[in-house]
A and B are shown apart, each in its own frame.
Chain A
Amino acid sequence: MSTLLEMSGVSVSFDGFKAINNLSFQIGEPEMRAIIGPNGAGKTTFMDIITGKTRPDEGRVIFGEKSISLLKMSESHIARAGIGRKFQKPTVFEAQTVRENLAMALKNPRGPFDVLLYRKSAKGGARIEEIASEVGLTEHLTRPAGELSHGQKQWLEIGMLLAQEPRLLLVDEPAAGMTPSEREHTTDLLVRLAEKHAVVVVEHDMEFVRRLNCKVTVLHEGSVLAEGSLDHVTNNKDVIDVYLGR
């Protein structure tokens, strides 16, 4: 397991409020990591920094074998480098069909002329079918994504994440709004993905985290409070203080 992403000494503040405070974080490939923390711990900002949406005031974020810095790269460049993100609130293109949504996410050259001259291939079609069946949307491929239920949108977004074939997956509350059986399916899917990829899951639901059975990082006030197995961190005194409010 080699280190895929390394953040060190990262800080960012909004109007004097330190959202991330000297945060250091590492994840290898393959690895599964769950991130938990109370509201305002900086989980979303943490993801924003990795995906290039927010620029940190200081610190380093390096990615891959060549140790490229993500700080100078645009969002799209970072995404092409192999970092995919699933948002907390499902954001799919509601006006377009499920197939179009997946096709857009499919790993292919991303330049305007590549896209303009892109020809649908049997391979690409098969891949879409494959992903659709994985996320249970085979029947809905021709429906506009806006007509899907909340849970189905979640699945579609996970499907889009799969289609991107990223090396690092950032998954924000994947199980929200899902039925227990769907949660189980999601867990299986994530565990399987983590066999080959680096997966970061942000989640509130402790049961879900426990089922992932992986190393857990606890964020608090923009920095790492504790790290280790779920049992280890839940027995940590600091973590208990934070969650129970002292």
Chain B
Amino acid sequence: MLRPLLAFLVLVLMGVSAPAQAQELQTILQSHADEVAKPGRKSVGVVIDNLIASGLPQVPVFLQNWQGRSVVRDEATGLFYYDKPLRDVDSGAEVDLGDVKLKAVKPNGGVRKVIGAALVQFQLSDPDISRRIDALDAIARSPDADQIGPLEASIDGESDAGVLARKEVLVGMLKARYGATTEDRVAAIEQLDGSLSLDARATLNQILTTKAGVAETVPESVNVARILTPGDDIAKVEAYGRLVDEGFAPARISNAAIKEALAANIEGGSVAGIPVHDLNTLERRLEAYTRLADQGVVPPAVTDERAAEILAQYTFYEAYTETDAAVTTAAETVLASIETSVAVNQTADLALDALSLASIYFLAAIGLAITFGVMGVINMAHGEFIMMGAYTGYVMQQIIPDYTLSLIVALPVAFAVTFGAGVAMERLVIRWLYHRPLETLLATFGISIALQQLAKNIFGTQARPLTSPGWLDGAWAINEVVSISYIRIAIFVLALIFLGLILFILNKTRLGLEVRAVTQNPGMAASMGINPDRINMLTFGLGSGIAGIAGVAIGLYAKVTSEMGADYIVQSFMTVVVGGVGNVWGTLAGASLIGVLQKGIEFLNPSNTLAAQTYMILFIILFIQFRPKGIVALKGRAAEA
């Protein structure tokens, strides 16, 4: 009795103002000592009520320990402690009682459940919001009828709007499944309409769980979901199998079993009078088996006709495990309505995906479009410039440990590196081949394989990570269905910035004017005093530089390997060709079309991205048939080629 006394003294000395708090948990426990030590399912309620009524902050901790079977009682004093290590129930401080006999308090399963329900109530009103969310998660994970009460009770005191909404939804879901009356449940189900959450759909699906059944006539008591017609809704073999499982029909003998039976009954080179070498057709085998069956050696086989007859006698159905038809009907209606809005939102999600894919293609292709459009040069090494940009990003991260800073540094450095590489390539190789675009294609391809192998030699074959800074982690979730990761948003913004930048350079600057002049008529431009050599060099550098920046962006969400460029090069060409050469808007249109198309095909055939790419390429080949000059075609004499 020393501790409580001391504690009391401390409290008095501190001049505690609120007398209610002077009450101690141990005191309450002592007043119900027997019930606490040997709780029974019925008696425990009073104890818990009293504990909760005390409003002591230590109560939830105690309940937890109680439920967790870590409360012990000093047999001599009758005081309760927490075990391992031995602690005081009030202060939580470790105590050393010396050599005393302790008896563990072991509430049984039923009691612990009651304690658990009481605990949920505490957690649901816990001042720490994360604890409240944890509690809600726990309920959503293993929903139970008992949780309705505490959950409803906690709604009133809820201060956070988000948590409040979630609680209300959760109550609805619980009521839908465990509500007392049909009306309650139907009302709760109808409340769920409009919710996009997976939990809501899971709840409804739970209610709508079906079980396969078969009977000669469907019993009235069964809440039938649908009747299955053998051959249409269910394979005949499977239907018959069910009859066999239910004991309604004899098992059929498989071809393999027939073969085995025949093999077991070979007598002197023949089976039931049929020579073994004759048994290489199913008909002859069946004939032999029938003869064996007639002799009574083997059980008779069920013929196809007989099987069909039996099948016709029975009705196959799926029945709801939920017997209340009103509930299932309501659930079906609501589920259908939810699924419609889920589909709408999925489309929106798909559109966002397509948009982000389109911005990646745009970034990857715009550099190519510029060089192709202005110079009529196909740069097969464009993909390798993307790779160089990504590796630059990786190297920057090795030098600068701060991801945000390294990213900010990497973008201009990647631009500079690939700009330099592009200018070098233009000066050393491409300008000698302006008359022969096919040879440019091949020469740049030579550079592409060399660069790829060089990267492999320097960085190795395994993928290098380009880690995005923390603030780009995660996703922006608009609702439960529609969400988009921040990286993709960042890439979208980057694509927008580049679209604006390139439009600005081409339309508002002297360089742009000269570039456009060279694009439209190189000879005329030259006679106007524009140096096409310089323009070509700068254009090529610009196109390559953008590839480098695209590389950093792509590296953030895909792996950086020496082969990553090859993954984008064909798509980039497609983007340029589909969009129409020599036009920024064309590239944008091409990228959008290809992005939307690829996502669309992937959605229709989600298991098979390879097939999606195949179909997309086929579509593009056909598209070129109808618009050989791309979506945004140059018109007039200039475009006639």
Contacts and interface: CB of A to CB of B under 8 A. Distances in A.
Q: Do chains A and B touch in the complex (CB under 8 A)?
A: yes
Interface of A: 14-15, 17, 54
B588 to A, nearest CB: 22
Contacts of A15: 635-637
A17 B636 CA distance: 9
Identify the 5 closest CB pairs spanning chains A and B, nearest first: A15-B636, A14-B636, A14-B637, A15-B635, A14-B635
8 contacts: A14-B635, A14-B636, A14-B637, A15-B635, A15-B636, A15-B637, A17-B636, A54-B640
Contacts of B640: 54
Contacts of A54: 640
Interface residues of B, number: 4
Contacts of B636: 14-15, 17
A15 B520 CA distance: 14
A15 B635 CA distance: 6
A14 B637 CA distance: 6
A54 B639 CA distance: 12
Contacts of A17: 636
Given A14-B635, A15-B637, A17-B636, 5 more contacts: A14-B636, A14-B637, A15-B635, A15-B636, A54-B640
A14 B640 CA distance: 10
Nearest to A19: B637
B580 to A, nearest CB: 15
Contacts of B635: 14-15
Nearest to B634: A15
Interface string B622-641: 00000000000001110010
A15 B640 CA distance: 12
A20 to B, nearest CB: 13
A169 B536 CA distance: 42
A17 B637 CA distance: 10
A54 B640 CA distance: 9
B632 to A, nearest CB: 14
B539 to A, nearest CB: 24
A198 B607 CA distance: 67
B637 to A, nearest CB: 5
A175 to B, nearest CB: 25
Nearest to B635: A15
Contacts of B637: 14-15
Interface string B472-514: 0000000000000000000000000000000000000000000
A139 to B, nearest CB: 31
Nearest to A54: B640
Nearest to A16: B636
Nearest to A45: B637
A126 to B, nearest CB: 39
A17 B635 CA distance: 11
A82 to B, nearest CB: 25
- Which of A15, A17, A54 has the most chain B CB atoms closer than 10 A to its own CB? A15
A14 B636 CA distance: 4
B641 to A, nearest CB: 12
A222 to B, nearest CB: 14
A54 B636 CA distance: 11
A225 B487 CA distance: 66
B397 to A, nearest CB: 50
A210 B383 CA distance: 62
A15 B637 CA distance: 8
A114 B635 CA distance: 38
A186 to B, nearest CB: 29
B583 to A, nearest CB: 14
Interface string B593-637: 000000000000000000000000000000000000000000111
Nearest to A14: B636
Contacts of A14: 635-637
A54 B637 CA distance: 10
A162 B637 CA distance: 30
A12 to B, nearest CB: 11
Interface in B379-402: none
A80 B636 CA distance: 28
B231 to A, nearest CB: 55
B42 to A, nearest CB: 93
B628 to A, nearest CB: 15
